[in-house]
């Protein structure tokens, strides 16, 4: 994992959205994708994308699970340490994956699964240990409402455009996508922003007033720089 990706492990999704805003990127947080049954984890990795389209009854059948273009085949193409991002179009009435497929992802070394849809077999999925961000759970299988059509191509997820190898960061506040060209900038600027905020929290704990502190005026910028040198 690159140094920038390692640095992102210590940067919150909230900070990342602020850094991306500096570059004009407003759609970076995936609506609907939240942690399933856990908290306190942060995952960083390159996106491996999956795409579903609306159900086509002649194609979305249990028999389709054995076809070359299938979720099963896609899982076998997933590289180690990737973050799988599945475009389920926000459909909440059919679960895109269950425990068996999630366990295979774990065996493939996948870091996490992100979707704007839902899962099935919640108890079994949680038992696999695969971190999942989604909208919830549903009992019906994906073919009830969705047709799987491909992988590792540009997709939409939670209102964001996701391209293969974009960097994904996910934590308790949800999931953000960082365009590949901005990863180094976000990692560097984000680390500095996190340090500044740690100082701001200390100042507020001491009773400091917010005007002039957050954001800092010139006097407080100097105090912050002095704190950095002496910490």
Q: Is the dihedral of CA 62, 63, 67, 72 positive or negative?
A: positive
163-208 pLDDT, tens digit each: 999 999 999 999 999 999 999 999 999 999 999 999 999 999 999 9
59 pLDDT band (50/70/90 cuts)?
A: confident
Q: Residue for token digits 């964001």?
A: 160
Helix (H, G, I), strand (E, B) or coil at 128: helix
132-149 pLDDT, tens digit each: 999 999 999 999 999 999
Domain boundaries, the chain: 26-178, 185-230
2 pLDDT band (50/70/90 cuts)?
A: confident
Q: What integer is the mean pLDDT of 68-95?
A: 95
CATH fold of 26-178 reads Glucose Oxidase; domain 1 (3.50.30)
230 pLDDT band (50/70/90 cuts)?
A: confident
50 pLDDT band (50/70/90 cuts)?
A: very high
* pLDDT given for residue 146 in this prediction: 96
Distance (Å, whole) CA 177 – CA 142: 25
- Centre a 10 Å sphere on the Cβ of residue 30 and count the other Cβ atoms it contains: 25
Distance (Å, whole) CA 23 – CA 2: 22
The reported pTM is 0.92
One-character DSSP codes across 162-201 = E-TT-EEEEETTEEEEE-GGGHHHHHHHHHHHHHHHHHHH
167-177 pLDDT, tens digit each: 999 999 999 99
Q: Are 111 and 82 in contact (CB under 8 A)?
A: yes
pLDDT at residue 73 is higher than 80: yes
Beta bridge partners of 147: 53
The answer for 158, left when phi > 0, alpha when psi is -120 to 50, beta otherwise, is left
């Amino acid at each position: 994992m690159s140094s920038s990706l390692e640095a992102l492990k210590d940067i919150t999704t909230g900070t990342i959205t602020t850094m991306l805003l500096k570059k004009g990127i407003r759609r970076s947080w995936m609506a609907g994708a939240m942690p399933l049954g856990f908290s306190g984890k942060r995952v960083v990795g390159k996106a491996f994308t999956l795409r579903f389209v609306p159900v086509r009854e002649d194609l979305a059948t249990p028999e389709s699970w054995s076809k070359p273009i299938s979720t099963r085949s896609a899982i076998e193409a997933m590289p180690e340490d990737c973050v799988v991002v599945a475009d389920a179009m926000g459909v909440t009435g059919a679960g895109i994956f269950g425990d068996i497929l999630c366990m295979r992802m774990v065996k493939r070394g996948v870091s996490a699964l992100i979707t704007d849809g839902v899962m099935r077999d919640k108890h079994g999925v949680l038992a696999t240990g695969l971190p999942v961000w989604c909208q919830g759970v549903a009992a019906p299988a994906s073919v009830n409402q969705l047709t799987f059509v491909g992988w590792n191509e540009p997709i939409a997820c939670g209102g964001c455009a996701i391209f293969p190898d974009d960097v994904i960061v996910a934590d308790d506040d949800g999931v953000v996508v960082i365009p590949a060209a901005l990863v180094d900038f976000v990692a560097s600027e984000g680390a500095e922003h996190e340090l500044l905020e740690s100082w701001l929290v200390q100042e507020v704990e001491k009773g400091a007033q917010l005007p002039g502190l957050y954001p800092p005026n010139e006097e407080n910028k100097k105090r912050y720089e002095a704190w950095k040198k002496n910490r």
